[in-house]
Structure formats: C-alpha cells, structure tokens
Chains A and B, each alone.
Chain A
Amino acid sequence: MFSTRRACIAGAFALAFASPVLAYEFGRPATPDEIALWDIDVRPDGKGLPPGSGTVERGKQVFAENCTACHGDNGVGGIKDRLVGGQGTLTSSAPVKTVGSYWPYATTLFDYIHRAMPYRAPGSLSNDDT
C-alpha cells in the first residue's frame, strides 16, 4: 500500500513537471455552463436535485398525459413495468418489484424519470413535471 501510494505520488509529480504541455493536447476544457446542460444525475443525499415543486393534482395530469399509455391508468395493468403494489411479495416465488415495493430511494425515481421518460421522448419533462 505504502509503495503503491508512493508510486502514485511519483507519477503525479512526473506528470506535473515533465509533461504539463502534453496533457493539454487532448480535448478542451469543459465550461461550467455546458457541464450544467449534461449534469443531470441526482444522488440519494439530494445532491444534483434541481429546485422545483408540484402538486398531486398536477401530477395526476402529467401522469395521464405521459405515463398511462405504457404503465396503466394507476400504474398497474400497462404494457410496461408495473409501478405500484407488490408489497409483501418479495419473499414469495413470484416477487413483484415496483417503485413501491422495491425502489429504495426517491431520488432514483426523479433521476430516472427526468433522464429517460417518457420512453419515446426522454428528457422532455420539466423539473416540476418530473
């Protein structure tokens, strides 16, 4: 471990002193503004979560417009993944994994819907609508 760390430090010094020009020959610096365009990930501690808000009523409307075609009227019975229910089935021979029964973090739900849903227009939902 000690020798590995020492080798890393030696490598860092070598890069810093021997080839600083070489390092800049690849690519270009990323600007904060363009990073913000792509920096969509959200962690369980809330880091990355954009400001926004919503109501249950608005949520129903967004769900009906964007989600029911695949996931069913109430998140059940659609042609794609079931979203609700399944609690108590995970130890059975036919576990039902849904957002309600299996997803451990709310931030994952925001991250995934915001980046990948609806299936035919990924990334089209606003922060509030997500």
Chain B
Amino acid sequence: MVAGQAAGDSLADVPPREDGADLSGHSERSQYVKIARIPEAGPGKRNVDPGDAINSKAPLDKLVGSITPTDLHYERSHSGVPDLDPAKHRLLVHGMVRRPLVLDIDDLRAMPSISRTVFIECTGNGWENWHKADENLTVQNTHGLVSTNEWTGVPLSFLVDLVEKERGSTWMLAEGGDAAGVARSIPLTDEILNEAFVAYGQNGEPLRPAHGFPMRLVMPGFEGNLNIKWLRRLKFGDQPWMTRWETARYTQLQANGKAIQFQLRMETNSVITSPSGTMTIKPGYRRITGLAWSGHGKIARVEVSTDGAKTWRDAQLNLPALAKAQTRFQMDWVWDGKPTKLVSRSTDDKGNVQPDRKSFIAAVGTNALFHYNAQQTWSIDESGRLRNVLD
C-alpha cells in the first residue's frame, strides 16, 4: 500500500524542512496519528454513551510491536475511575497474619521491587463471537480487551513475609478502593505467591488512574479482574469469600446449566491484527501480522492459515517471547485475489494449542460468556474486504 502511493510521486513533492515546534514538558502524538480506545458496553453494545460503557478497548489494529502505549491500555472498570490522592490512600494487610499492617505508597516504593512485562486480559475478551459474528467488527471490537505493559512493584511474597502470614492461610481477598469495592478471592498457589506483585509503576511512570493509581495487584497470566485496581485491602484467610464477582459475574455457564467458578487462568490465544476486520487489501504481496499470548507461559509457535484452516505455515515470532506477555508474529503472503480466509493459532511452551471454534464450542457450549479463546477467522471477498466470521 505504501509502495503504491510512493510510486507516483517525486521527492520534489515532499515538503521542505521548516522550523519545529517548541520543546515541551511531554510529547503529544502527531496530528496525523488518529488512535484511540473505544468505550463499549456488553457484547454487541457498541457506540454507547460513555456513562454506560463498562470497558474501553485497545486499538490492536493500529498498534505495532508488543507493548501497549499506557494511555491505550484497555480498561475495565466496574464503577468508574476514582480520583485517589496517594497521600491519603492506605493499603491494609490483615486477616490470618501475625502482624497486620497499614502501608502507604511511600512504604511500597521503599521496598525491594521487580519490573515485569505481562499481558492483562479481561476475561470477557472475544465475547462478541460466542453466538454469531458481526461482519462489521474490527479486531479492536473483537479482541481489544488485552494489553501488555511493563509493571513495577513489590512482590506479594515480600508482603506475605512482612505481615507473617499464618501457614493455614491458603486464600487471599484483594479489594479495590473503587465505589464498587471490587473484591476477589485468590488461591495462594506456589505460582501466584511467586509471581503476583503490588504494582505502583506502569511503563516507567506511576500508574494511570484508569489502571489503579496509586497501587494495584498484578497477577501474571490470570483473569484481568483479579488484578485489583486501586488496591486498598489484602486479607488472608483459609477459604474463598465467594464475592459477587466470583459467583454471579466471572463464572462460565455450561450447556448443562451449571457454572464453572474460579477458572482463573487466561488461555492460549492469538489474533491477526493486520489485515483484519473491515480493512481492504489489494492482490499481491502482503505482510500478515498479529499478537499471541498465553496465561500458561511463553508463546512457542504461531501458525497462520491463508486458506481457511486447511493448511498452515509457521509465522515468525518477534523475539524475545516473554512469559505471559503478548508476542508479535508476522508472515509473508501473496494474495492471488480469490476469496479466502485468514486464521491464526498459537501454541505455548506448555504445549497448549489454541482451539478451533468448532471444537471449542463443542467443549464449552455458547453460554459461558467469558474465556473465549477460539481461533479468529477473517474472511476476504473478491473485492479484498475483510470480515469477522465464525470460521
């Protein structure tokens, strides 16, 4: 596309150099870059009043690389974004501990810290396609509830030692300082004790309010809603609390009418971001690119099909592929101008393969609402227009 535009012009048409703008306190995007999240409500509820939105989706079709710009990281907030003064914010750590503590942001910043690049994904990501595929959806609409940032904070294990958690405590309640007081029970597995952390930094700066300022929990590889924002309480106990969010909300209704609780890990997933839904391509050389991620570990392989999942080729991964972070993939392709379908499927280093939609639906039904990780298919018609289809 770029090559086609350049072919007809001359270097003489490029504007001459001119005086630049004044230097400033922070950098704005170019006026030529139009890029933003899209606030949405539930599945199929788009173009809603911002007051009715429950999430805001990242523009995956316009991003490159694997890091999401901070202001474009997807957002899911259950009761708006509180405006918290860090000087007045406190974190209470209590329950089955020998030394219950009150910590503030300065305490956290004085503790040993880690930085880790991980994806966070709303468990509702992909929920547009449970029953049918709206052909007018972009990849931002279908998969925009996942992002990857570098987060900095204090390991949970450090706090656990600090308050002297009792050995009998096997669960932890994490509660936010938002109006809804979102609270989740978190099982204290070895993996979670080793990897979870209380973050105060995001891509090198303090957290943005939409992402939990001044402090949040980060749970690499697990449901976005467990990464409690505006964190103000950690309570240790010996059984789950069965809050609204783990009984009525973030559960997966099965075909038999029963629901699965505490399906916490985000699955092996991928999506082609370019070309993708509503884009139009011309015959000839194309570069297919997209993102893959897994809550189990590193992305080991991404395969791409350009013939509707009949045959597959290995895509190139942009290394390093980090554990529980999004990995960019790309592949060369020459489109012959005939209608076809593009599909990607990822495999992680634990051997988990992203399922095709038919097997996925056969296994879980169509009512689960959350944890949709079936392969995404984009159809291409003879005019080169791409559409969201089920398979």
Measuring CB to CB, which residues of chain A are less than 8 angstroms from any residue of chain B? 4, 11-12, 15, 23, 25-30, 34-35, 38-45, 90-91, 93, 95, 97, 99, 102-105, 107-108, 111-112, 115-116, 119, 122-123
CB–CB A90/B253 < 8 A = yes
Contact residues of B between 78 and 125, Cβ < 8 Å to A: 79, 92-94, 99-104, 107, 110-111
24 A–B contacts from the bound complex (CB under 8 Å): A15-B161, A23-B161, A27-B103, A27-B107, A29-B100, A30-B100, A30-B102, A40-B181, A41-B175, A41-B243, A43-B242, A91-B256, A93-B131, A104-B247, A105-B242, A108-B242, A111-B244, A112-B243, A112-B244, A115-B181, A116-B79, A119-B79, A122-B79, A122-B179
Contact B181 A116 (CB under 8 A): yes
Q: How far is the CB of A15 from chain B (nearest CB, A)?
A: 6
User: Is there contact, CB below 8 Å, between B103 and A102?
Assistant: no
B170-225 at interface with A (beta carbon < 8 Å) = 173, 175, 179-181, 183, 190
Q: Which chain B positions have C-beta within 8 A of A23?
A: 161-162
Closest Cβ–Cβ distance, residue B180 to chain A (whole Å): 4
B161 — which chain A residues lie within 8 A by C-beta? 11-12, 15, 23
In Å, the complex CA distance between A26 and B385 comes to 58
Residues of A within 8 A of B233 (CB): 38
One of A11, A43, A116 near B241 (C-beta < 8 A): A43
Majority secondary structure, B binding face: mixed
Q: Are A39 and B366 in contact (CB under 8 A)?
A: no
Known contacts A99-B248, A108-B243, A108-B247, then 7 further A-B pairs from the complex at CB < 8 Å, ordered by chain A residue: A26-B103, A26-B111, A38-B232, A41-B235, A104-B247, A111-B244, A112-B244
Tell me, in angstroms, the Cα distance from A105 to B247 when the chains sit together. 8
CB distance from B243 to the nearest CB of A (A): 6
B residues apposed to A, CB below 8 Å: 79, 92-94, 99-104, 107, 110-111, 131, 161-162, 173, 175, 179-181, 183, 190, 232-233, 235, 237, 239, 241-244, 247-248, 253, 255-257, 259, 366-367
CB distance from A98 to the nearest CB of B (A): 9
B245's nearest neighbour on chain A, judged by CB, is: A112
**Would you call A28 and B101 a contact (CB within 8 A)?**
yes
- Among candidates B92, B244, B257, residue contacting A91 with C-beta atoms closer than 8 Å: B257
List of B residues within 8 angstroms of A108 by Cβ: 242-244, 247-248
Chain B residue at smallest Cβ distance from A98: B248
Given contacts A29-B100, A90-B253, contact A44 B242 (CB under 8 A): yes
Bound CA–CA A38/B100 (angstroms) = 13
In the complex formed, the residue of A with least CB distance to B100 is: A30
B190 to chain A, nearest CB (A): 7
B118 to chain A, nearest CB (A): 24
Once the chains are docked, how many angstroms separate the CA of A88 from the CA of B196? 40
Residue of A nearest to B52 (CB): A79
Bound complex: CA A104 to CA B367 (Å): 18
CB of B325, distance to nearest CB on chain A (Å): 26
Q: Which of A26, A29, A43 has the most CB of B within 10 A?
A: A26
Q: List A contacts of B257 (CB < 8 A).
A: 90-91, 95
**Shortest Cβ distance from B382 into chain A, in angstroms?**
34
Q: Within the assembled complex, what's the spacing in Å between the Cα atoms of A115 and B107?
A: 27
Q: Which residues of A contact B162 (CB under 8 A)?
A: 23, 26-27
Bound: A81/B175 CA distance, A:
22
